[in-house]
Amino acid sequence: MNREKRRLERGESTRFDRGTLGVLRRLHASWNQYRFEYKVWIVQPAISKAAATQPILQLLGFVGKALIDHRRIPLTVVTRS
């Protein structure tokens, strides 16, 4: 919010595509009323499920476990069939 204020004071254009600084301030003031849900998708069209190597599967497994353990964020991996 401070960065946007400085931009406007220097006569530069706003970075907002939608809304205003006032809307952002209102959202920021009431952020604890909102529930956030995150999902992570990894898209690897060059890898097929059958041809994925053990190191790749282990890495994806570690990433998925870390996301669930630390932030309860589900991981979805999209590959070629």
**Per-residue pLDDT for the chain (81 aa), expressed as one digit of tens each?**
788 889 889 999 888 888 888 898 898 899 888 888 899 999 999 888 888 999 999 999 999 999 999 999 999 999 987
Give rounded-to-5 percent helix, strand, coil for the chain: 45, 20, 35
Tell me, rounded to whole angstroms, the distance of Cα 13 from its chain centroid: 26
* Six token digits for residue 64: 């998925």
The domain ranges of the chain are: 2-33, 40-80
> What is the C-alpha separation between 40 and 48, in angstroms, rounded?
19
